[in-house]
């Protein structure tokens, strides 16, 4: 059961933070279909940054001495770099949607096509292969994962359920993302900035009549969205892909859009929806090694004899079912997707 909960969290947290990224953009009035592409770019830049750190003496010394605090500080630094990369990449969407008044759906789709092309090209240039990983075959899980040795716990010591589930074999980035999610949700709904941002997504003309700069607020919304999605892309690559980049994030950006819609653009609902989708994604990824009761019986693999492709399809089938059932009750921001025109009333 601990393994199931851990894996569900690993898949849910990137979904949650990227879905919130979509909320910031769409609450400002810009549809962000480019979440997938921004995640890919954030994952790629994060892997590049992690790979570059390997050559620094400070990193070598921290790894050799088991300096966990320094390694975690570097992990946070890489998350910030990935967030910055996502924010910069999202400026392409901002400029096309806000300044050029281009179709936001097409702009987002174009970025989703552009990001993997750029990443794969650069991966071929850097490593002459299709997947970029760490040098010398080293594993970032050994650097950033919280383990028994990290906390000075004896390998043979029996752990309580909480420690075994939520501490050991987890990543600090997971809990940092939860904290960021809470802070950003408070900013969106409990601050003047958040009120102005949401006003620009509901009625930009009324917001402008009160002296709010709609262009700046929409730029801010999309930039924050890009930063959160870029960070989510790296966290996904680090926790589930062993810090590798191959121009793909397994459709997590599109799943995050589904989570956002299912959550009705509200952070609390999004957190709940992320856990549901993360659970099914966990089953799809680890059904063959999932020992639910710890009794050595792999129920999903050996007892329920169905095609493994069915498990892989489950997250996307559930997405279609959920969206078809909840779409009538969803209420998107009224002005999302509509270019702002000062002359409109």
For residues 149-154, average pLDDT: 72
How high is the pLDDT of residue 199? 94
- Computed over every residue of the chain, the mean pLDDT equals 86
| Residue 148 placed within a domain | yes
* pLDDT tens-digit series, residues 182-217: 999 999 999 999 999 999 999 999 999 999 999 999
Let me know if residue 83 belongs to a domain.
yes
Tally of domains within the chain: 1
Task: State the pLDDT at residue 280.
Answer: 85
Residue 189 lies in a domain: yes
Looking at residue 135, its pLDDT comes to 75
Q: Is 266 left (phi over 0), alpha (psi -120 to 50) or beta?
A: beta
Q: Kindly state the tokens that stand for 245.
A: 């980049």
More confident residue, 20 or 314: 20
Check residue 293 and give its pLDDT: 58
State mean pLDDT over 208-234: 95
Local confidence band at 299 (pLDDT 50, 70, 90 cut-offs): low
In this prediction, residues 25-38 reach a mean pLDDT of: 95
171-191 average pLDDT score: 94
Whole-angstrom distance, CA of residue 67 vs CA of residue 72: 9
Lookup result for tokens 């966290």: 235
The fraction of the chain above a pLDDT of 90, given in percent, is: 48
Read off the pLDDT band of 297 (50, 70, 90).
low
Residue 345 — pLDDT band, cuts 50, 70, 90?
low
Asked, for residue 11, whether it belongs to a domain, the answer is: no
Give the model's pLDDT for residue 291.
61
**Tell me, what's the pLDDT at 281?**
84
Task: Say if 225 falls within a structural domain.
Answer: yes
Q: CA 103, 31, 234, 286: dihedral to nearest 10 degrees? A: -110
Apex 203 CA angle, 202 and 205, nearest 5: 160
Q: CB count, 10 Å around CB of 25?
A: 34
pLDDT tens digits, residue range 75-98? 999 999 999 999 999 999 999 999
Query: What span, in angstroms and rounded, lies between the C-alpha atoms of 134 and 149?
Result: 23
* 223 found inside a domain: yes
If you average pLDDT over each of 183-192, 242-251, 271-280, which comes out highest? 183-192
Contact 336, 31 (CB under 8 A): yes
Q: 138: domain range? A: 16-152+160-250
Q: Higher model confidence: residue 274 or residue 327?
A: 274
Q: Which residues neighbour 208 within 8 Å (Cβ) at sequence distance 6 or greater?
A: 214, 340, 342
Residue scoring higher pLDDT (327 or 228): 228
pLDDT at 300 (0 to 100): 62
Residue 141 has pLDDT above 80, yes or no: no
275 belongs to a structural domain:
no
pLDDT value at position 230? 96
Of the candidates 38, 69, 88, 231, the one whose C-alpha atom is nearest the C-alpha of residue 143 is 69
- What is the predicted pLDDT for the residue at 235? 94
pLDDT band at 116; cut points 50, 70, 90: very high
Asked whether residue 314 is domain-assigned, the answer is: no
Chain segment 1-19, per-residue pLDDT in tens: 677 888 889 999 999 999 9
Determine which of 16-25, 264-273, 304-313, 315-324 has the lowest per-residue pLDDT on average.
304-313
**pLDDT number for residue 279:** 87
Backbone angles phi, psi at 132, to 5 degrees: -100, 120
């Amino acid at each position: 059961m601990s393994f199931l909960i851990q894996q569900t969290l690993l898949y849910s947290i990137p979904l949650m933070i990227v879905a919130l990224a979509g909320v910031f953009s769409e609450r400002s009035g810009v549809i962000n279909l480019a979440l997938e592409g921004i995640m890919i770019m954030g994952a790629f830049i994060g892997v590049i940054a992690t790979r570059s750190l390997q050559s620094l003496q400070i990193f070598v010394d921290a790894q050799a001495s088991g300096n966990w605090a320094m390694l975690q500080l570097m992990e946070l630094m890489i998350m910030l770099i990935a967030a910055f990369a996502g924010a910069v990449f999202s400026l392409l969407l901002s400029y096309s949607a806000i300044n050029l008044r281009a179709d936001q759906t097409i702009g987002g789709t174009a970025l989703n096509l552009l990001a993997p092309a750029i990443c794969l090209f650069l991966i071929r240039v850097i490593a002459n292969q299709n997947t970029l990983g760490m040098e010398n075959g080293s594993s970032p899980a050994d650097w950033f994962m919280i383990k028994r040795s990290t906390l000075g716990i004896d390998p043979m010591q029996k752990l309580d359920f909480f420690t075994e589930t939520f501490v050991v074999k987890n990543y600090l980035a997971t809990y940092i993302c939860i904290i960021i999610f809470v802070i950003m949700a408070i900013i969106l709904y409990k601050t003047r900035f958040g009120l102005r941002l949401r006003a620009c997504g509901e009625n930009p003309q009324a917001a402008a009549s009160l002296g709010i700069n709609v262009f700046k607020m929409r730029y801010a919304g999309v930039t924050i969205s890009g930063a959160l999605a870029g960070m989510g892309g790296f966290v996904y690559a680090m926790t589930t892909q062993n810090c590798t980049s191959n121009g793909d994030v397994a459709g997590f950006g599109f799943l995050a859009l589904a989570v956002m819609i299912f959550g009705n653009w509200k952070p609390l609902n999004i957190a709940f929806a992320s856990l549901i989708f993360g659970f099914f994604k966990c089953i799809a990824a680890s059904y063959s090694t999932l020992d639910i009761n710890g009794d050595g019986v792999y129920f999903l693999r050996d007892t329920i004899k169905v095609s493994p492709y069915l498990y892989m399809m489950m997250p996307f089938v559930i997405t279609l079912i959920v969206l078809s059932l909840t779409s009538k009750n969803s209420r998107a921001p009224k002005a999302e997707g509509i270019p702002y025109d000062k002359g409109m009333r």
